Amino acid sequence: MRNHLIKNEVEIEEAQSMKNGIVFYSMRNEGMRIVTTIDKSNCINTKIVTRKDLKEEFNIKQFMVYWVIEMIPITIIITFLIMDKYFSEEWKMRLCILYPAIMELWGFFVWRPAEESKRFHAAEHMVVNAYADLYRIPDIVEIRQYSRFHNQCGTNITTRRVIYILLFWIMLFTPITILGAIIVFLLGRKIIKWLFSKGYLNFLQRFTTSEPTDKELMVAIEGLRAFIEYEQQQTTVL
């Protein structure tokens, strides 16, 4: 999730959830991460690490396994078995253009995070939303009043790509002049941007977040506290 909060002394540019905690990205010391996690004994720990030290949950090996096991076989099935047998040449072309959106959504639902990660993801959004509204660190009661969805969540990148592919697909196979297509695209772009700004297109976040417990919320609050303290220290040093 990316976000810019210029109302506060300390800005949150980017944060992300992990399977056992939350990471805040320092703006004032590029490359540094504030990582707050909780262990099996429910002890909350915070450490400052570099970008290289931070072990990302999603790595290149997982990505390759995902493509080899999931995406390539599905691509072969759709291309050589289903499309060749049941669709005309015109519809084959139409489906080929729509294919990236289909694969985007398929990959999204196949590669969903674990339930605990979804709760931390929601807690991350809630603490950032609360901070943006209150201009301070929320308590456990206050944070529960805020949405688990965030307009700048990385999940919305998938939503945006799929919508633009569908918009292009509709324009391509609708009788319309070039000028008309340009007008439709520009108007559609403005409408899509407005819908995202109002949170109307956050629906995929229902699959990547779930209602957090007090455990995830406390980690989010402590993570935000540690992040603000670190950023303020960097200001003092500078």
> Tokens 């540019």 appear where?
13
Per DSSP, the residues of 150-175 read -TT-THHHHHHHHHHHHHHHHHHTS-
Name the region of 64 (left: φ>0; alpha: ψ -120 to 50; beta: rest).
alpha
Query: Please, what's the largest Cα pairwise distance for the chain?
Result: 68
Q: Nearest CA to 123 among 22, 48, 237?
A: 22
Side-chain half-sphere CA neighbours of 57 within 13 A? 13
Residue 58: Cβ within 10 Å count: 11
Question: For tokens 């490359």, what's the residue?
Answer: 31
pLDDT at 23: 95
Q: Which helix (H) or strand (E) holds 231?
A: helix 214-237
Q: Which residues contact 75 (CB under 8 A, 6 or more apart)?
A: 103
pLDDT at 47: 94
Give pLDDT, residue 8: 47
- 83, 92 in Cβ contact below 8 A? yes
pLDDT confidence of residue 213: 97
For residue 126, the model assigns a pLDDT of 97
> In which residue ranges of the chain is pLDDT below 50?
4-8, 57, 60
Enumerate the β-bridge partners of residue 15: 24
